Amino acid sequence: MLTRRIALNAGDLNAIMDLETKLHPQGDLTDVYKLLCQAYYGPSHMGKELTLIQSSLEKELGKKRKIYMPVIQDIGNRKGFYRISLDLIPYFPKPDSEPIPLSSLPKKLVKKKTEPWQIELVSQMILDSCLEMDVDLRSWKSTWRRLWPRIEARYKPAESVVKIVQQHVVEASITHHSKRFKDSYQPHYRILHHKVLKRSFDIDA
């Protein structure tokens, strides 16, 4: 697991939100809040028990129907975490293989069978991408207060949505994606740290 929280500056945050707006224009403040929680804390909110991580992944793989794009989404400006589509999992090479250039994958992924060892591999990589420490409530509140003026000016969210998000800030909990986001994109992904992802894929190639 990771021992240090990701440090993001104003330029990083602008790049992350620019990309999110481009990829998911139907998202609202709850989706942006979820994105920023993931950008700072990675997959830690999903728990740190390998069996539970694997069980959750198996269930989601079993119920998803459509290919989810993008294949990967940089949510750390090349120094933090990535969202990876669950449709990338069947393309993961064996652990002792050389990393595969991401550019060598088909531009449009097709449905492929996911092998049990690939589920086990990615589950371990998710655990390795978690932070050792729990979310520091005081630190997260301070971070959100610092980010809020920029977010408010950018998205001009409805007051009803602001109240929902502020309650999650108080609890230091993560939101679900909004209904509009789910209906528009049918998201199915997991979060991996860039160093962990690079064990399997050359994301710079």
Q: Distance (Å, rounded) from C-alpha 129 to C-alpha 59?
A: 20
Q: Which amino acid is at 205?
A: A
**Domain for residue 4, yes or no?**
no
* Residue percentage of the chain with pLDDT more than 70: 100
- 205 pLDDT more than 80: no
Pick from 162, 136, 126, 151: nearest CA to 51: 126
Peptide bond connecting 99 to the previous residue in cis, omega within 30 degrees of 0? no
- 50 pLDDT more than 80: yes
State the burial class of residue 108 (Cβ atoms within 10 Å of its Cβ: 0-12, 13-18, 19+). exposed
What pLDDT, on a 0 to 100 scale, did the predictor assign at position 126? 98
**Domain for residue 16, yes or no?**
yes
- 201 pLDDT more than 80: yes
- 120 pLDDT more than 80: yes
φ, ψ of residue 111 in degrees (nearest 5): -65, 130
What pLDDT, on a 0 to 100 scale, did the predictor assign at position 8? 92
Pick from 60, 87, 63, 59: nearest CA to 73: 87
Q: What is the pTM assigned to this prediction?
A: 0.95
Looking at the 3D structure of the chain, how many domains does it have?
Answer: 1
**Domain for residue 1, yes or no?**
no
**172 or 185, greater pLDDT:** 185
With residues binned 3-state (H G I as helix, E B as strand, rest as coil), the percentages for the chain, rounded to 5, are: 55, 10, 40
Q: Which residue range is the domain that position 47 belongs to?
A: 10-202
**Domain for residue 71, yes or no?**
yes
CB count within 10 Å of CB 120 equals 15
Tokens standing for 15? Answer: 């790049």
What pLDDT, on a 0 to 100 scale, did the predictor assign at position 131? 93
**Domain for residue 191, yes or no?**
yes
- What pLDDT band is residue 133 in, cutting at 50, 70 and 90? confident
Mean pLDDT value across the chain: 94
**Domain for residue 46, yes or no?**
yes
What pLDDT, on a 0 to 100 scale, did the predictor assign at position 32? 95
Tokens standing for 54? Answer: 């694997």
- 149 pLDDT more than 80: yes
pLDDT for 155-183, tens place per residue? 999 999 999 999 999 988 899 999 999 99
- What pLDDT band is residue 77 in, cutting at 50, 70 and 90? very high
- Helices 137-155 and 29-41 pack at an angle, to 10 degrees, of 140
Pick from 44, 57, 49: nearest CA to 193: 44
Instruction: Name, in order, each residue with C-beta under 8 angstroms of 131's C-beta and a sequence gap of 6 or more.
Output: 1, 2, 3, 4, 5, 41, 42, 44
**Domain for residue 3, yes or no?**
no
pLDDT for 1-36, tens place per residue? 987 888 899 899 999 999 999 999 999 999 999 999
Mean pLDDT over 87-106 rounds to 95
**Domain for residue 5, yes or no?**
no
